[in-house]
Amino acid sequence: MEVSETEEVKHVRDENARLKKLVADSSLEQGHAAVGDQENISGLVGRRAELRSLLNEFQSRERHACGLMKVPRTRYRYRSASR
């Protein structure tokens, strides 16, 4: 490969990665909108479960998913101490 070809391949790979990220973020937002249209999720336990499914399904960042669901990350991560 020549230098120009390698630069073009690198540019195409970078553009592909950027587009994949845009599609994933868009899909996550659409998934969140669909959840909002359904019945309200009862309590934080239900919202945590919904967040987990969004994170797994769309392989998104925790910060982004919590922001879309309007759940503070500290509440998402909270685990009660066993007594």
Tokens of 12: 């195409």
Number of domains in the chain: 1
10-residue mean pLDDT series, the chain (83 residues): 84 87 76 52 73 81 82 79 68
Q: What is the pLDDT of residue 62?
A: 83
Domain coverage including residue 68: 3-77
Q: Is residue 38 part of a domain?
A: yes
CA distance 50 to 54: 6
Q: What is the pLDDT of residue 1?
A: 65
Q: What is the pLDDT of residue 60?
A: 78
Q: Identify which of 26, 20, 34 has the alpha carbon closest to the alpha carbon of residue 50.
A: 34
Q: Is residue 32 part of a domain?
A: yes
Q: Is residue 7 part of a domain?
A: yes
Model's pTM, two decimal places? Answer: 0.40
